[in-house]
Structure 1
Amino acid sequence: MLSRLPERHRAAGGEFLRFGLVGAFGFCLDVAAVYALIPSLGLYGAGAVAYFIVASINWALNRFWTFGGRTHRAAHTQWLRFLAVNLFGFILNRGAYSLLLVAFVLPRHYPVLAVAAGAASGFLVNFLLSRRLVFV
């Protein structure tokens, strides 16, 4: 599939696919963390804490696998930068999550629906910001 892309876009295409795979793995972790944390933190607290945990894991995977050849910053600096620039993705992600919890009954009973909508909302923004501002 990547071989169909023009030469100048192949690297970005590969990064996009790897970022998507990391994101899919992160989605599974996010769902698990939300469900595990709901009893102690409630729906909103679970969503916030789960996002922070999963964002940190996703940063590590993206640092070493997705953008491994482009990683030139110190780990702690890059992790903080990743969290900062992905704040926009966080706003989209957890904004959609919270909106669905407030507006509909079904996501309150099945939080996976709200987590999925949130993940989809922030994905492209997170990829573009990560590629241009974090992993350079």
Structure 2
Amino acid sequence: MREFVLFCVGGVLGFVVDAGVLQLLVTGFAWDRFSARLISFLCAATATWLFNRNLTFHGTRNHSRFGEWWRYIFAMSGGFACNFAAYTAVVLTFDVDGRWLPLAVAAGSVAGLGVNYFASRHWIYRSKPQA
């Protein structure tokens, strides 16, 4: 249970990064809501990887740092598919833009949570089998 709670704390950190980068790109640099989301996802996934690597799953190391990051980003793409689908549904259904985009990011974050935890726990940070 501790592991899942820490994973959720990391998810909140990821949400803050995701929503912040998205806001910056959309309102500060006039990017569209969907292209900016791809960049904000990469930033958020990297932030959650650092958090999870150092706190949530701190004892399990099966790959090099870059190999672990790459696998983590790849594994999170499944959760991101759920996340982006929910984000897109909220954005298009309610014509969400500007300062309300974090609400769509939050819906996406909730949608991808289970997939991301399962991928992290059972693929990226699984324990090596005992001999």
Query: When the two structures are superposed, what TM-score results if normalisation uses the length of structure 2?
Result: 0.88
Correspondences of 1:1-136 after superposition (within 5 Å): 13-38=1-26, 39-105=29-95, 107-109=96-98, 110-136=100-126
Shift of the alpha carbon at 1:101?
1.2
Instruction: State the distance in 2 between where 1:88 and 1:15 align.
Output: 20
Return 5+ residue gaps in structure 1 as ranges: 1-12
Instruction: State the distance in 1 between where 2:62 and 2:56 align.
Output: 14
Aligned length: 123
Describe the SS at the equivalent of 2:87.
helix
Residue 17 of structure 2 contacts residue 47 of structure 2 at CA under 8 Å; is this kept in 1? no
Shift of the alpha carbon at 1:135?
1.0
Percent of aligned pairs sharing the same letter: 28
* Cα root mean square deviation, aligned: 1.1
Describe the SS at the equivalent of 1:70.
coil
Shift of the alpha carbon at 1:71?
2.2
Q: Which residue identity does 1:93 align to in structure 2?
A: N
Return 5+ residue gaps in structure 2 as ranges: 127-131
Instruction: State the distance in 2 between where 1:25 and 1:82 align.
Output: 16
Shift of the alpha carbon at 1:72?
2.9
Structure number with higher helix proportion: 1
Residue 13 of structure 2 contacts residue 47 of structure 2 at CA under 8 Å; is this kept in 1? no
Query: When the two structures are superposed, what TM-score results if normalisation uses the length of structure 1?
Result: 0.85
| Offset from partner CA, 1:52-100 (integer Å, 9 cap, x none) | 1110111111111100011232111111111111111010011111121
Describe the SS at the equivalent of 1:42.
coil
Q: Which residue identity does 2:70 align to in structure 1?
A: L
